Amino acid sequence: MHDLTILGGEVNTSSSPIPYGPRLREAIQADSVTPLIGVFDMFSASVAAQHYDGLFVSGFGFAASYYGLPDIGFIAWPDMVGFVQRLRLAFPRHHLLVDIDDGYVDPETACHVVQHLDAIGASGVIIEDQKRPRRCGHVDGKQILPLEEYLEKLELVLESRGDLVVVARTDATDEEEIVRRAEAFAATDADVILVDGLRSAEWIRKIQSAAGGKPLLFNQIAGGKSPRFSLSELDDLNVSATIYSTPCLFAAQTAMDQALSQLKVDDGRLPAVTDGAVGVAECLDLLERNISRNHAK
């Protein structure tokens, strides 16, 4: 379990709103790296929330779960906002960092979405500089907006936010362009910089130099382009936060495939519920914790 204590031992039940953005900002500015676990639906979030106090609303995972499609631009912003609202009701004590892709194309929509997310209790957003059709940050074929066009959108988002943490993300792959964009992002009021698909510790250090002390977020995805760094290694590299985009999604795919393959082998006989396995009681125990009235207990 990694420090499930962002609000201490008690749930805030007062009428004043919890300062979600400032709390995430404080965690990112702390001495140790802040991990945020990618979730793709309410159930995966229910499991992840038992182990980590930071949740990442992954566009990859949401596109896969909600639409059954790859993350190339199918997500409609009201669907994402509705999902985050359900998450916040169930998990009032957790950081919620939300992937909003390119802000759903135009700057006006980006600002509108950010204001919605701010109002429902998101902790922060990541907004990228990709062109449509967008791609996962760890695959080939990405195209990026002209820097000036992205900066204009980013500045409008920064002006329209309340307390939300804003992560400025670039998907540039040319080395000179990566540095140029990191320097430009560092000159804005964005809280954090993310360069997706970094391939080495050396490049993390280069971005840190270009960012001039602005906190860095590192994205890890199984089978992706970046190394599989441990939290200790990221701490040593002075990375401020890391998102694990897909461990829940990929684990679910693996486990479901294995369970159903075994069901065929066993002629349709369900496995016994032994120690460590999940049956109806264990599943209901997990889900009943998400009923909003239980947070006051």
Mean of pLDDT values over 241-252: 96
In angstroms, rounded to a whole number, what is the distance separating the alpha carbons of residues 11 and 19?
Answer: 13
Lowest mean pLDDT across 5-14, 170-179, 284-293: 5-14
Q: What is the pLDDT of residue 86?
A: 97
Domains of the chain are 17-248 (3.20.20.60)
In angstroms, rounded to a whole number, what is the distance separating the alpha carbons of residues 24 and 96?
Answer: 8
In angstroms, rounded to a whole number, what is the distance separating the alpha carbons of residues 94 and 96?
Answer: 6
pLDDT digits 0-9 by tens, 1-53: 444 433 333 334 333 468 999 999 999 999 999 999 999 999 999 999 999 99
Mean of pLDDT values over 93-115: 97
Q: What is the pLDDT of residue 254?
A: 97
Q: What is the pLDDT of residue 224?
A: 83
pLDDT digits 0-9 by tens, 130-142: 988 787 666 777 8
pLDDT digits 0-9 by tens, 118-132: 999 999 999 999 988
Contact 48, 248 (CB under 8 A): yes
Q: What is the pLDDT of residue 167?
A: 98
| Residue 276 clears pLDDT 50, i.e. is over it | yes
Structure tokens at 172: 């540039």
Share of the chain above pLDDT 70, in %: 91
Residue 104 banded pLDDT, cuts 50, 70, 90: very high
Amino acid at 297: K
Three-state DSSP string of the chain: CECCCEEEECCCCCCCCCCHHHHHHHHHCCCCCEEEEEECCHHHHHHHCCCECEEEECHHHHHHHHHCCCCCCCCCHHHHHHHHHHHHHHCCCCEEEEECCCCCCCHHHHHHHHHHHHHHCCCEEEEECECCCCCCCCCCCCCECCHHHHHHHHHHHHHHCCCCEEEEEECCCCHHHHHHHHHHHHCCCCCEEEECCCCCHHHHHHHHHHHCCCCEEEEECCCCCCCCCCHHHHHHCCCCEEEECCHHHHHHHHHHHHHHHHHHHCCCCCCCCCCCCCCHHHHHHHHHCCCHHHHHC
Q: What is the pLDDT of residue 7?
A: 37
Q: What is the pTM of this model?
A: 0.90
Whole-number mean pLDDT of the chain? 90
Q: What is the pLDDT of residue 16?
A: 41
Q: What is the pLDDT of residue 253?
A: 96
Q: What is the pLDDT of residue 296?
A: 53
Q: What is the pLDDT of residue 10?
A: 34
In angstroms, rounded to a whole number, what is the distance separating the alpha carbons of residues 180 and 210?
Answer: 8
